[in-house]
Chain A
Amino acid sequence: GEDVEQSLFLSVREGDSSVINCTYTDSSSTYLYWYKQEPGAGLQLLTYIFSNMDMKQDQRLTVLLNKKDKHLSLRIADTQTGDSAIYFCAETGSNDYKLSFGAGTTVTVRA
């Protein structure tokens, strides 16, 4: 795994959609992950996508992958106050133990 970059902060109004973006440099990345960290807690796996997929949807979450541009995004529909957290993008190869994490995007949901 190589560098993974994310914007540090995102503020969104309750009920709107949130889009969190991530770019990575390792062209051999096979799996890409989104984790959520609430204050004082560990990382909770939200979803992950295999690199031969362009999109994955799971209830309010939609992951989009542009492998050509090495760009990953997480869209949260109908954002709620409980979605306020830090969101980490991470990537690894198919047989690679090492997860490379971005620095995390702090999402603040305002009323």
Chain B
Amino acid sequence: NAGVTQTPKFQVLKTGQSMTLQCAQDMNHNSMYWYRQDPGMGLRLIYYSASEGTTDKGEVPNGYNVSRLNKREFSLRLESAAPSQTSVYFCASSDGTGGNQPQHFGDGTRLSIL
């Protein structure tokens, strides 16, 4: 009954370090997403993958890269972490990209950049 699993749950980095956040889903969903959550701002889309083999930029992609490794896994990479990237990161998945295909979320990765 795992759904969407994110690792790690917590991470502290120094400015300039790199980091990959991992996400895996076991619902055989086609589409996967990465969001960041900042206080008072709701969630903002960083990147998404409509299907295996495709990735596209969302609302706030600068400073991030993604890889859709296979249908199950979608990773988010910070090449050179900056304090402005301190946030809670959520991965989500859905069966498709239509509005009638609700997105299901993981529990998040809490990332602090010093």
> Chain A interface (Cβ within 8 Å of chain B)?
4, 8, 30-31, 33, 35, 40-45, 48, 50, 88, 90, 92-99, 101-104
Contacts and interface: CB of A to CB of B under 8 A. Distances in A.
Interface in B5-48: 31, 33, 40-45, 48
A50 B58 contact: no
Given A42-B90, A42-B107, A44-B105, A98 B98 contact: no
A45 to B, nearest CB: 5
Given A43-B90, A88-B42, A97-B31, A31 B108 contact: no
Contacts of B92: 43
Nearest to A95: B98
B102 interface: yes
B79 to A, nearest CB: 24
Contacts of A98: 45, 48, 58-59
Contact of B102 (A45, A102, A103): A45
B43 A31 contact: no
Nearest to A97: B97
Nearest to B44: A101
Given A98-B59, A99-B45, A33 B108 contact: no
15 contacts: A4-B42, A30-B99, A35-B105, A41-B108, A42-B106, A42-B108, A43-B43, A43-B105, A96-B97, A96-B99, A97-B50, A97-B56, A98-B45, A99-B45, A103-B41
Nearest to A92: B99
Given A99-B43, A99-B45, A41 B99 contact: no
Contact of B42 (A40, A44, A50, A103): A103
Contacts of B103: 45, 99
A40 B104 CA distance: 16
Interface in B61-114: 90, 92, 97-100, 102-108
Q: Which of A50, A96, A97, A103 has the most CB of B within 10 A?
A: A97
